[in-house]
Chain A
């Protein structure tokens, strides 16, 4: 399985990586339990920063598409095929749209929503 990234693309590199790994899992090119290259190897092969690949791996791990087994390395998650179909970004967008619509229905202004949203985001911890 070969991964291709375009550094001139508007889509961030880590998103390109995540999308291609998910696509490979969905198409059956990468099967459950298959070993993934280390962050360092993939970053060096693609001539990109280690942190970019690490971010992509973190997102894939969060989405349960891959799993890290300590020193043994990173592998495709047993439920990767089902989990790859879930688009978390689309779900967030949908849920946020619903919430904003509910606010607007009770005449909360957009600037009030923005201020509140910003406040919540800044105090997330």
Chain B
């Protein structure tokens, strides 16, 4: 009974955190920027080679984003209510192998955020096309990983990946010869970690997405991204170690609760961390003014 209440509470928290709290925070940030930094005073913020009326376009996308999250939140609450009414408990999830539904629901919840991020990426691409400045500047200071995060976290991420790998492969289920799903899990985890390394390197040394972004803001963004990826790697390893332990010691009943909690931690350490790192009040919006100098 206790596990059922715990599961319903954790699932409710997932619906509210992923589909209501963070999307609402994101919308408030965007609305604040659109209201305070208008197209007339900050033309470079809206500069775009593709859209005829970028400001209106962005407002439309924001409305669609809010609507999509509202619908998903409503669906989530509906499903949760149906589960409570029909007494659908974590043991049923395990018996009927419905764990994948939890994953699909989380993916559905993150879909609006992913689409918004892709739109932002495209937006910056069009922004870069609107004219490259003749005068360009750069700081003669190297950007290094440990300027943005303590080495302890990096070492921890590496150690935890190795611990997970050792623990996972030492499990009786994964004895030699390895099954295909064991190989796929190892490949996926390793590839994800390699992707994190590639992304961090890209943000440290690669081109900045937003051509007008102030150097201070660029550093703030890099710090946020570095922290998100390192924390994601740590979180992923810890979760998988916990999942393996749960399976090994016959605590399968807790698996739905742990998975839902994991998704929420991903959101808090991902989107939440980015919002905490890149505070609007600390950003330099003067670079978007018509007469702004070199950034």
Contact = CB atoms under 8 A, between A and B. Distances in A.
B136 A48 contact: yes
A86 interface: no
Chain B, interface size category, equals 10 to 19
Contacts of B136: 4-5, 7, 45-48
B140 interface: yes
Contacts of B205: 38, 40-41, 44
A107 to B, nearest CB: 49
Of B138, B142, B207, B294, most A-chain CB atoms within 10 Å: B138
Chain A contact residues: helix, strand, loop or mixed: mixed
Interface stretch (A29-37, A87-95, A96-104, A109-117): A29-37
A45 B222 CA distance: 14
Contacts of A44: 205-208
B18 interface: no
Of A7, A8, A21, most B-chain CB atoms within 10 Å: A7
Contacts of A48: 136
B276 interface: no
Interface string A5-48: 11110000000000001001000001000011110111011111
A2 B139 contact: yes
Contacts of B142: 35-38, 41, 73
B138 A21 contact: no
A121 interface: no
Contacts of B138: 2-3, 37, 42, 45-46
26 contacts: A1-B141, A2-B137, A2-B139, A3-B138, A3-B140, A4-B137, A5-B136, A5-B137, A6-B135, A7-B132, A7-B136, A35-B141, A35-B142, A37-B139, A37-B140, A37-B141, A37-B142, A37-B143, A41-B142, A41-B204, A41-B205, A44-B205, A44-B208, A45-B208, A46-B138, A48-B136
